[in-house]
Structure 1
């Protein structure tokens, strides 16, 4: 009898964990579709911050060109992860390039 109770309890807990995962995933997708604009604004701000921070430490770290891009990407990835935002490599490059262009335009003024 204890074995049957044990099996039922274990099965119920497994089902509950799976259902909880499905509900959380659905809720996250729903919030991302509703908060998509806000997520993009956050990414733009964080990309700009990553580019500016990379420019400030580039001299001290003696990094140039592609190394600066990689440093900015790593910085952006770490910061986005704290906001539960994940981008593809191409999307990240696009946001970083846009931030670099905006910074260059701003510095030329």
Structure 2
């Protein structure tokens, strides 16, 4: 029974990873068509920087899970406002999720 549960969980995580990658790619295509390549590049950079900065200060601020996500979102939103780029919350979430996945993949290597 434990093996079946493990197989189901592993498969579900694999499917979710694939789906999140597809969603991020579609959002990128949409944003490039609507706002330009520069806006997408800025959003990606801001998300990566926000995720890395949040991870670095998380222990000092004693924040975990949803608090770290909220901190990263706040940093991205402030950065986007400076560049006068408007994104929806789901779009910001996607960029942050992508940055978190990239960071985790890098750590695994």
CA distance in 2, matches of 1:34, 1:97: 21
Q: Unaligned regions of 5+ residues in structure 2, if any?
A: 1-31
Q: Unaligned regions of 5+ residues in structure 1, if any?
A: 1-31
CA deviation vs aligned residue, 1:46-96 (integer Å, no higher than 9, x gap):
100000000001000100000000000001111111100121110010000
2:105 — aligned with what? 105
CA distance in 2, matches of 1:63, 1:105: 22
Q: Secondary structure at the match of 1:63?
A: coil
CA distance in 1, matches of 2:37, 2:107: 27
2:48 — aligned with what? 48
1:39 — aligned with what? 39
The TM-score with structure 1 as length reference comes to 0.67
Bigger Rg, which one: 1
Structure 1 moving runs of 4+ over 3 Å: 32-35
Indicate the RMSD between aligned Cα atoms, in angstroms: 1.6
Equivalences for residues 17-28 of structure 1 within 5 A: none
CA gap of 1:42–1:60, structure 2 versus 1, over 3 A, is same
Equivalences for residues 1-109 of structure 1 within 5 A: 36-109=36-109
CA distance in 1, matches of 2:61, 2:96: 19
Bigger RCO of structures 1 and 2 (CA < 8 A, at least 6 apart): 2
Aligned length: 78
